[in-house]
Structure 1
Amino acid sequence: MRLGFGKGHNVDPAGVLNAIASAVVVADRDGKIRFVNQATEQLFNTSAAVLCRSNLKDFIPADSPVFSLVAQAIDEATLVADHDLLIESPKIGRHAVNLTVGSMPDENGSAVLTFEPRSIAQKIDNQLLSRNSARSVSAMAAILAHEIKNPLSGIRGAAQLIEQTATEDDRVLTRLICDEADRIVNLVDRMEIFSDKPLERGAVNIHTVLEHVRRLAENGFGQNLHFEEVYDPSLPPVYGNRDQLIQVFLNLVKNAAEAVQTEDGQITISTRYQHGVRLAVAGGDTRVHLPLVVSVRDNGPGIPPDMRESLFDPFVTTKPTGSGLGLALVAKIIADHGGVIEVKDVPTGGAEFQIMLPIYHRNLAEDVQANQKDSWIKEETL
């Protein structure tokens, strides 16, 4: 393996790889292991000396998607990835991992595999957290609608009656009561949008969605900001719901705008095609490719470290007057689309939200619709 280092620096490549927390394996097309780092010893519960005399198929079943990814990476000389991949065997036990495979530029046809372990609990949480959180919020909204909206209507009506005979000073208070009653009703109404009904999807031009969002922003909350667009015009349609995708990116752009209220505030919206990323479809065995990547990046202060783990939970917000439902809704919609949303800091400052979505093709639409139907039938019988 050849790694690039600055002149005058004597760095051991193996030492660098051993410092990585993820398991790194170099193997050929047939699975023969040529190198492992220390994290691999822990993941496979086997010493490096034994691993380097072994084959990956001694530890991972031969029919695992791992080997098709290795072949794809070598054949196409590219980088491929599979999120939430389950590897299981008597030797290594049961592990959920994010796997990335890249080809090596050598004559032996080798690949570098990086296993990022994820606990089974994390795997389940990642697939169901947004959906379950949405259901909890929706159930809460139904209760609030019955137990709170009706009494609030009476309170508001009483305040309006008092206002008719009140002094000007007292009217300030009655108007405050009405405004707060309206605010609570609006909050309940916003929570009701988290319902878990089947999503109607079709072929959507993602650039039409993003252009619509940009125009709304430039003529409203983002009129003092600079917008930069970096689009790949050759992208195929996304498999999605246009209105809900507009809601997703409008939320993300609005959050970015609120984070960069300065003279040099900038928001960059970009799209690109990315090979090799896959994710399991909830409710079935289908693994969907997620090649369409949309990024929303700002040059604001970034995300506070203590907020990262709960950023997409309902009622979590960094804004004094925020409800904390915007990003929860974004995560729920992306999960409904079978996609992935990630957030990371920008090295030069700011935050970047990256969304990976499936592209439209007829077979995928039929598979997802069948899984949705089966899922709803099961829920109705519970």
Structure 2
Amino acid sequence: MTTKIPHEPQKGALNSAPLLDALSTAVFSLDRVGRITTVNSAAETLLGRTRRGLQGEPAAEFIEEAGAWFPLSENAGMVSYASLTELRRGLADPVRVRAVLSSLSAEDVRASGLPFDTACLLEVSELEDALQAERSAMEASVRAANSELLRNLGHEIKNPLGGIRGAAQLLETELVRDEDRECTSVILEEAARLQSLVDRLLAPYRRPRTSEPVNIHEVLEHVRSLIGLEFATGLRIERDYDISAPAVIGDRGRFIQIFLNLARNAAEAMTSERARGKAEIVFVTRIARDVMLCGKRVRLALRVDVVDNGPGIPEEIRGRIFFPLVTGRAEGSGLGLSIVRAFVEEAGGAISVESRPGKTDFTVILPLGSRKEAEKSDRSPTGGTGIKI
């Protein structure tokens, strides 16, 4: 059994280095015998304990294998250990983690601002989170390549398209017979349709008009009214809001486009449910803490879920649903969700989806503005303080 070794905290040791607190990975700084000298905020969250309470605890209390790594010899030079193991969390269930131990030089410790008796760092990441991060990095690389291709393609189409439309308009003024004019009308209509497609392709690359505090509940209420008019029968829209959330920062028009697209997709997918009067969309907002957004750790964020009770996303396209030109509808362009994702990421957020028959849940997570910024926007569309509307 591992026992706690008496350890006198040094002055200021409770404050972990600011750089460590910016990481989403749990990091423990340890002395030569494996006792915790300090931890970052992610480690506090992972173990459900405070920095002060963890100081002086042996790492082997949480990772059994760590007992074999210590003590570190002063003459051993730089050492490193890595292991896939279990992290024990008291009464909470243990979790599978990837643990990496790296020794530090005295110069590293001084430069980092860590407690002077620190000898090494232990990085701990939940295995599922680590695998998800790798998958996300691969997906981001593919999306970036696809986006660059589409942007270049859009510009290459747009240039000659203007010439085609101009020539057709000029030709139309010189034609006398109606049947000839019908041909130029077809050219102009198809050119306009192609222009619209190109504009949608290039939309994510245009800078937003404004960046200001936006009350997301007011945005959702606006979307609710638009969807209610478009799908007047057979569809019910419920709301479950945490109206204590402060504002998000971004372009209001783009936020409307994000949630209008998600809600419209949900409504269009529920054809049979609407015919039976059973279609339902639910807007849910909640505060999220300690989340990773765009490669950065965010302490406070707003989670918005758009949930429907439709047939679900076909399994064969579920993993590619945010890629351009991927759609489950014969009449769809496959651009809507790729634009949604681009707008969400432009606002510093992230979007994901979980889907099965009977329930599809699109989750948008956005970093929150400060409370001071939030005061500039209305707290709720109704001025109330309840949660469910």
TM bucket by the smaller chain? 0.5 to 0.7
Structure 1 unaligned spans of 5+: 1-26, 31-56, 77-88, 96-100, 366-382
TM-aligned CA deviation for residue 238 of structure 1: 1.9
Distance 2:37 2:346 in 1: 31
Q: CA separation in 1, counterparts of 2:300 and 2:145?
A: 22
In terms of mean alpha carbon deviation, does 328-337 or 180-189 score higher? 180-189
- Encode CA deviations 1:314-335: one digit per residue, 9 max, x unaligned: 1111121221110000000111
Matches within 5 A, 1:1-382: 66-71=42-47, 73-74=48-49, 90-92=80-82, 106=91, 112-113=94-95, 114-116=126-128, 117-118=130-131, 121-126=134-139, 133-155=146-168, 157-158=170-171, 161-162=174-175, 164-167=176-179, 174-195=184-205, 197=207, 200-221=210-231, 224-261=234-271, 262-263=274-275, 264-281=277-294, 286-289=296-299, 291-346=301-356, 349-361=358-370
Percent identity of paired positions between Structure 1 and Structure 2:
29
In structure 1, what residue type is equivalent to 2:162?
Answer: K
Distance 1:363 1:29 in 2: 44
Distance in 2 of aligned mates of 1:253 and 1:288: 27
Looking at structure 1, the residues matched to 328 and 82 of structure 2 have their Cα atoms a distance apart, in angstroms, of 42
Q: Quote the Cα distance in structure 2 between the aligned partners of 1:29 and 1:123.
A: 39
Over residues 83-122 of structure 1, what are the superposed CA-to-partner deviations in whole Å (9 max), with x where a residue is unaligned? xxxxxx94238x9xxxxx9976x4xxx6644530327753
Distance change >3 Å, CA 132–CA 212, structure 1 → 2: farther
SS of aligned partner of 1:355 = strand
Who wins on radius of gyration, i.e. which is larger? 2
Shift of residue 308 of structure 1?
A: 1.4
**In structure 1, the residue corresponding to 2:81 is in which secondary structure?**
coil
8 Å CA contact 2:210, 2:251 repeated in 1:
yes
Q: Summarize the Cα distance change of 1:123–1:239 in structure 2 as closer, same or farther, 3 Å threshold.
A: same
Q: Is the 8 A contact 2:216 2:248 kept in 1?
A: yes
Cα shift readout 1:158-189 (whole Å, capped 9, x = no counterpart): 36754x4034xx76655433322221111112
Cα-to-partner distance string for 1:22-51 (whole Å, 9 max, x where unaligned): xxxxx9999xxxxxxxxxxxxxxxxxxxxx
- Is contact 1:206–1:238 with CA below 8 Å preserved after alignment? yes
Give secondary structure in 2 for the equivalent of 1:320: coil
SS across alignment from 1:229: strand
**Cα RMSD, aligned residues only:** 4.0
Distance in 2 (CA, whole Å) between partners of 1:172 and 1:205 is: 49
Tell me which amino acid in the other structure corresponds to 2:177: T
Q: Distance in 2 between matches of 1:289 and 1:209?
A: 23
In structure 2, C-alpha distance between the alignment counterparts of 1:361 and 1:192, rounded to whole Å: 32
1:185-221 alpha-carbon deviations (Å, 9 max, x no partner): 1111222212153784332111100011111111124
Partner of 1:289, secondary structure, is: strand
Q: 1:123 to 1:354 in 2, by over 3 A?
A: closer
Cα distance change on mapping 1:180 and 1:265 into 2, 3 Å: farther
Cα distance, 1:288–1:126 mapped onto 2, change above 3 Å: farther
Distance 1:343 1:299 in 2: 14
TM-score (norm 1): 0.62
* Distance in 2 separating the partners of 1:298 and 1:250: 14
